[in-house]
Amino acid sequence: MAGGGFVVGDGQKAYPGRLTPFVLFTCVVAAMGGLIFGYDIGISGGVTSMPSFLRRFFPSVYRKQQEDATTNQYCQYDSPTLTLFTSSLYLAALISSLVASTVTRKFGRRLSMLFGGILFCAGALVNGFAKRVWMLIVGRILLGFGIGFANQSVPLYLSEMAPYKYRGALNIGFQLSITIGILVAEVLNYFFAKIKGGWGWRLSLGGAVVPALIITLGSLVLPDTPNSMIERGKHEEAKTKLRRIRGVDDVSQEFDDLVEASKESQSIDNPWTNLLRRKYRPHLTMAIMIPFFQQLTGINVIMFYAPVLFNTIGFTNDASLMSAVVTGSVNVAATVVSIYGVDRWGRRFLFLEGGTQMLICQAVVAACIGAKFGVDGTPGELPKWYAIVVVTFICIYVAGFAWSWGPLGWLVPSEIFPLEIRSAAQSITVSVNMIFTFIIAQIFLTMLCHLKFGLFLVFAFFVVVMSIFVYIFLPETKGIPIEEMGQVWRSHWYWSRFVEDGDYGYGNGLQMEKSSSNQGTKHV
């Protein structure tokens, strides 16, 4: 077995070390990287429902919106340019996350965070001062470049810094700051929309400089991860840092395993083609399927278009933005639940519980909207109780997402990749996430217009598929050191056929016990 580490009672490896204030501080600062992503997600929905913004940049949508409620409500926002405004960011993020892969691997995780912050600052300024639609789109593209860098590096940073026992909780700091970013954006939209003169949208869009500055300054004070220092040949520095991070003098066991992992990593010429090797099949599958499924929950329909959606189901502008604030708060609160539970109950439990909850809510929301709007989209008078039922179920749905696929969609990929493919595989995860965020952002309003309430059933179908996928194919990763993760594949009933003893070069020989929280893993 490479390196040391000692094996604890249940057959898993343990390294000495505790949750030091230093590691807590670095993880909190790094997690702020999620703020920029969240702020963006939350801001666009509100801005695109502000009449002054629509009148200036998207007059045709504005005109349709002004028509009375007897017209087809499903289609009032159906405009390709409007959706391009929201979705251009995700295409840019997709491209930049691929570039970020090399920066993160060759120059360290924090340089990518720094780039992320700077690009995002630039985008926020261009947007805040926008005079024409093209300026809006250029601004969104710059923001997207920033997000690609941040989302590629921050989850890796957190998973590498964290002591393995707290990895889940600390990594979810990223998702927590995404949700805080979304909520702050929604609250700001609510107030800025009220500014007389109708220029509040400039503050909403320009306000993104604040989270951008936080991550820019944050990345200047953060240390790089020991894993990344070793990968770049800085062994002594890495050892000193590891002692400081773990708060113990004897870190030799973990250090040796990191060095071993890094040797494997050095022997690889091209991390991209390497990803295609048979032994990385489980990782590649997860790198693609997890973000794909995360987006197919349909969460961003709510996140981007909550105000628009609430407007469609009969709320006034003000009430729509307010309900978006309510869903935003539920999102934050439920993420805290998953911080509490992820290292206790495990990933699989959260995935499956969250999936069931989302499924029920999607069915109810589809039924409610179908019952009132029918297929022609003319609701007539909408009673108050009706709106309350819809918002309540949307909130329960958001909670289900926020303690399952939301945080785990970033956590699980970042903790399962061996060092030699980590950076490249994480870029695939970010890219797939962004492609499907883009597709959903781009076609949602059109789909709402054509599929009507059935749209929610499409997402419900995918929730069933993803839950079955998790049940059958995703092994439990709770409480396993990151450089020891090879064992979960070696002992999995399906993935073990792709992995041979000695694969991933380190941490071999460890076996995992089957436990109730660990279905999908077999004895070897």
CB 398 to ligand BGC: min, Å: 8
Question: Which residues from 450-509 bind ligand BGC, rule CB under 6 A?
Answer: none
Please identify which residue in 87, 97, 320, 437 interacts with ligand BGC, judged by CB under 6 A: 437
The answer to whether residues 2 and 257 touch, using CB atoms and an 8 Å cutoff, is: yes
Q: With respect to ligand BGC, which residue has the nearer C-beta, 200 or 406?
A: 406
CB 303 to ligand BGC: min, Å: 4
Distances (CA, A) of 48 to 30, 57, 125, 324, 349: 30, 10, 18, 13, 37
Q: With respect to ligand BGC, which residue has the nearer C-beta, 259 or 334?
A: 334
Please identify which residue in 253, 300, 431, 477 interacts with ligand BGC, judged by CB under 6 A: 300
Please identify which residue in 153, 171, 179, 404 interacts with ligand BGC, judged by CB under 6 A: 179
Give the closest residue to 74 by CA, choosing from 345, 449, 393, 436. Answer: 449
CB 140 to ligand BGC: min, Å: 15
- Residue 153 interacts with ligand BGC (CB under 6 A): yes or no: no
Owner of token pair 């500055």: 213
Residues 394-423 vs ligand BGC: string with x where CB under 6 A?
------------x--xx-------------
Q: What is the dihedral of CA 382, 388, 390, 395, to 10 degrees?
A: 160
- Residue 303 interacts with ligand BGC (CB under 6 A): yes or no: yes
Return the DSSP state at 49: T
- Residue 299 interacts with ligand BGC (CB under 6 A): yes or no: yes
Count of CB atoms situated within 10 Å of the CB of 269: 7
CB 31 to ligand BGC: min, Å: 13
The span of 14-22, 173-181, 270-278, 486-494 binding ligand BGC (CB under 6 A) equals 173-181
- Residue 158 interacts with ligand BGC (CB under 6 A): yes or no: no
- Residue 178 interacts with ligand BGC (CB under 6 A): yes or no: yes
Cα 362 from Cα 331, distance rounded (Å): 16
Q: With respect to ligand BGC, which residue has the nearer C-beta, 294 or 423?
A: 294
Q: With respect to ligand BGC, which residue has the nearer C-beta, 47 or 178?
A: 178
- Residue 171 interacts with ligand BGC (CB under 6 A): yes or no: no
Residue partners of 440: CB distance under 8 A and separation at least 6: 295, 298, 300, 301
Return the DSSP state at 408: H
The answer to whether residues 382 and 311 touch, using CB atoms and an 8 Å cutoff, is: no
The answer to whether residues 121 and 216 touch, using CB atoms and an 8 Å cutoff, is: yes
Q: With respect to ligand BGC, which residue has the nearer C-beta, 117 or 409?
A: 409
The answer to whether residues 218 and 113 touch, using CB atoms and an 8 Å cutoff, is: yes
6's enclosing H/E stretch is strand 6-7
Please identify which residue in 27, 36, 41, 185 interacts with ligand BGC, judged by CB under 6 A: 41
Q: How many residues lie near ligand BGC (CB under 6 A)?
A: 15
What would the two tokens of residue 13 be?
A: 């490896």
Q: What is the dihedral of CA 325, 329, 334, 337, to 10 degrees?
A: 170
Cα 8 from Cα 523, distance rounded (Å): 17
Please identify which residue in 101, 225, 433, 467 interacts with ligand BGC, judged by CB under 6 A: 433
13's enclosing H/E stretch is strand 13-14
The span of 127-135, 172-180, 496-504, 507-515 binding ligand BGC (CB under 6 A) equals 172-180
The answer to whether residues 66 and 213 touch, using CB atoms and an 8 Å cutoff, is: no
Question: Which residues from 327-366 bind ligand BGC, rule CB under 6 A?
Answer: 331
Instruction: Point out which residues bind ligand BGC (CB under 6 A).
Output: 41, 175, 178-179, 182, 294, 299-300, 303, 331, 406, 409-410, 433, 437
